[in-house]
């Protein structure tokens, strides 16, 4: 029986969950592909009878990029309301409740499928990354309920519940007497649909004071005549550090496994319904995989422990590994992995008996791929340079070794003249087309990055306009100290003196009582009311999703004398937009 599984996500999480469903479906004898939504011809959905959807929400309640065309098709008014009357489906959403539009993409999809006649197998599942158990708190019981309902509806039974753990996507063949230069990065296929371009690094400078707790970098790349617009993003594919790669192969050597860095492998798919990733389209050395493909900093999910347990001969280790794969063992798994941010390499070192039995097939199945990272472009196209403002992630947990963000530390290590692969993509911010529409920007910390691009662009646009009026751009910037982490100070103060920017800075630690951007917003209520109510200003908010967006929104509601409905209306009209990250 055919079962189609589709996922929409900008990270690998939705794909992992979709593949977990796919492995379980094999126990019931189902056949059918697991695909990103943009790889499936959506017009054929009317021919499907059984589909599972896994959908993540991005940005300000937006559908992920690889779902956009799929979603646009489903929104066509020409589609009859009975288009999907033969479809039985289930939908699982992946979201974060710290965002206002929690799981909005999944909710929209679920509602639209019902409007077109689709019939739910079980209610929509809404996973929350803020839960102590992560997505598993909802996804695991949701999957159990799904298969129980499928058994009732279709009269099917699983041949063997344990069989799903032994379903391998890939088959590896060692190519003897073959060598590949692992530094030949051109040999690695860019794993995304958009064609990658090479960008040359021109500058890599720390912008924060050396005594400041955080290293923030301004990276400048040669633009190569690429086109972008304010609010667009730059997507890069990071690499593991040489230290991490060497650490991995030291572990391989220590366990005397029958493969090494120079082992060249050809990977094929074990199933016709499991497409082979582009990065496996050519043979690769294990050093290439460990450098460019595998995320050695990844926090492993339950599937990794399932794989480690397969050939483990030590009873105590196997028992613990299997505990981590159960719903009942989630508390233990969270304590072991999530709270200390333990990496897959550290797990391999902890479970030494299980690790010593790893085969090449299990190893390639074990690692998650490095996911692309996206950064707001901090310069406009007219500047002819592509700038990024990147906070380097480094922090401590109870483990002795500091936790390092893979991408930010990779970017930090780049030397001038280095070429990297990158791709410019359309951002989620919608800027007003009329250059005389005021823009109110709130960008604490590195959230100021996209607004530097906006201000630069407006600077060029406004050169021909009369200068005898209030600035059309308002920026609320916040940081800890004026002398330590005031990003783009020279640029912002220059634009302020030029009269095109109304600049308001909150330096939270420079006085006894802390001052944040929301306090300055409330303080400037009269000016903001004028812009919002009389000139239909657009409000853009960028930065951390933790507390800032909620506090800023409450401040604007106060500015508008408690008119929360007006803010909600502005959100619908895209006059109030948030671009935040956790």
Q: Which residues are annotated as a binding site?
A: 9-14, 56-59, 94-103, 129, 341, 373-376, 405-408, 446, 508-509, 514-518, 581
- Burial annotation 329-365 (CB, 10 A radius, 16+ → b, else e): bbeebbebbeeeebbbbbbbeebeebbbebebbbbbb
Q: How far apart are CA 1 and CA 6, in angstroms?
A: 16
Q: Are 424 and 233 in contact (CB under 8 A)?
A: yes
Greatest alpha-carbon span in the chain: 80
Would you call 373 helix, strand, or coil by DSSP? strand
* Measured CA distances, 146 to 36, 120, 252, 437, 545 (Å): 21, 10, 40, 50, 32
In DSSP terms, which residues pair with 366 in a beta bridge? none
Helices 302-310/315-324 angle, 10° precision: 150
Single out the residue of 426, 442, 429 nearest to residue 574, CA to CA. Answer: 429
- DSSP 8-state secondary structure symbol assigned to residue 335: I
Q: How far apart are CA 405 and CA 414, in angstroms?
A: 15
Q: How far apart are CA 165 and CA 111, in angstroms?
A: 33
Instruction: Please give the distance of CA 195 from its chain centroid, rounded to a whole number.
Output: 19
Binding site for FAD, by residue number, is 341, 373-376, 405-408, 581
Single out the residue of 286, 330, 328, 322 nearest to residue 304, CA to CA. Answer: 322
Supply φ then ψ for residue 533, to 5 degrees: -85, -35
Supply φ then ψ for residue 454, to 5 degrees: -60, -45
Q: How far apart are CA 492 and CA 515, in angstroms?
A: 19
Binding site for NADP(+), by residue number, is 446, 508-509, 514-518
CA atoms within 13 Å, Cβ hemisphere of 484: 13
DSSP string, 69-133: HHHHHHT-TTS-TTTTTT-EEEEEEEE-TTSSSTTHHHHHHHHHHHHTT-EESSPPEEEETTSTT
Let me know if 242 is exposed, middle or buried by CB neighbors in 10 A (0-12, 13-18, 19+).
exposed
Q: Are 5 and 21 in contact (CB under 8 A)?
A: yes
Reported in sequence order, the residue ranges of 309-457 that DSSP labels E, i.e. its strands, are 373-376, 385-391, 394-395, 403-404, 419-425, 439-442
Binding site for FMN, by residue number, is 9-14, 56-59, 94-103, 129
Q: How many residues does the chain have?
A: 582
DSSP string, 256-302: T-S--TT-EEEEEESSTTSPPPGGGSS-EEHHHIIIIIB-TT----H
């Amino acid at each position: 029986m055919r079962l189609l599984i589709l996922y929409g996500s900008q990270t690998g999480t939705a794909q992992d969950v979709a593949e977990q469903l796919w492995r379980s479906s094999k126990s019931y004898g189902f056949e059918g592909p697991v695909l990103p939504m943009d790889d499936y011809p959506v017009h054929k959905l009317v021919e499907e009878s059984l589909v599972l959807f896994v959908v993540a929400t991005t940005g300000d309640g937006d559908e992920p990029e690889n779902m956009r065309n799929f979603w646009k098709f489903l929104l066509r008014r020409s589609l009859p309301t009975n288009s999907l009357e033969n479809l039985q489906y289930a939908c699982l959403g992946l979201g974060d409740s710290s965002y206002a539009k929690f799981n909005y993409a999944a909710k929209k999809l679920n509602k639209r499928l019902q409007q077109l006649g689709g019939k739910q197998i079980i209610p929509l599942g809404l996973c929350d990354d803020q839960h102590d158990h992560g997505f598993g708190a909802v996804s695991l019981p949701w999957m159990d309920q799904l298969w129980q309902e499928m058994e009732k509806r279709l009269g099917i039974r699983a041949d063997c519940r344990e069989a799903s753990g032994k379903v391998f996507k890939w088959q590896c063949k060692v190519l003897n007497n073959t060598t590949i230069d692992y530094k030949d990065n051109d040999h690695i296929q860019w794993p995304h649909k958009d064609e990658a371009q090479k960008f040359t690094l021109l500058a890599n400078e720390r912008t924060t004071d050396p005594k400041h707790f955080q290293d923030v970098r301004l990276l400048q790349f040669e633009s190569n005549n690429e086109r972008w617009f304010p609010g667009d993003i730059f997507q890069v594919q990071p690499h593991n550090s040489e230290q991490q790669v060497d650490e991995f192969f030291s572990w391989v050597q220590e366990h005397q496994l029958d493969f090494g860095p120079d082992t060249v492998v050809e990977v094929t798919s074990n199933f016709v319904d499991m497409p082979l990733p582009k990065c496996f389209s050519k043979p690769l050395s294990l050093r290439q995989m460990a450098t460019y493909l595998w995320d050695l900093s990844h926090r492993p999910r339950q599937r990794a422990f399932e794989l480690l347990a397969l050939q483990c001969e030590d009873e105590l280790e196997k028992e613990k590994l299997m505990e981590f794969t159960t719903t009942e063992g989630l508390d233990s798994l969270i304590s072991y992995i999530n709270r200390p941010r333990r990496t897959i390499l550290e797990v391999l070192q902890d479970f030494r008996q299980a690790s010593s039995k790893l085969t090449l097939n299990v190893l390639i199945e074990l690692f998650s791929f490095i996911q692309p990272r996206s950064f707001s472009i901090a310069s406009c196209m007219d500047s002819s340079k592509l700038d990024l403002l990147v906070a380097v992630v480094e922090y401590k947990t109870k483990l002795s070794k500091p936790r390092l963000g893979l991408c930010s530390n990779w970017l930090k290590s780049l030397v001038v003249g280095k070429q990297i692969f990158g791709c410019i993509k359309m951002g989620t911010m919608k800027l007003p087309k009329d250059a005389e529409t005021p823009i109110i920007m709130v960008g604490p910390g590195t959230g100021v990055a996209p607004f530097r691009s906006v201000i630069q662009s407006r600077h060029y646009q406004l050169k021909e306009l009369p200068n005898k009026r209030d600035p059309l751009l308002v920026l609320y910037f916040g940081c800890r100290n004026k002398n330590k982490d005031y990003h783009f100070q020279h640029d912002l103060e220059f634009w302020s003196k030029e009269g095109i920017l109304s600049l308001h800075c909150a330096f939270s630690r420079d006085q006894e009582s802390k001052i944040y951007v929301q306090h300055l917003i409330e303080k400037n209520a009269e000016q903001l009311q004028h812009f919002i109510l009389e000139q239909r200003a657009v409000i853009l908010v960028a930065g951390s999703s933790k507390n800032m967006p909620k506090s800023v929104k409450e401040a604007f509601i106060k500015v508008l004398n408690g008119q929360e409905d007006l803010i909600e209306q502005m959100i619908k009209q895209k006059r109030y937009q948030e671009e935040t990250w956790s």
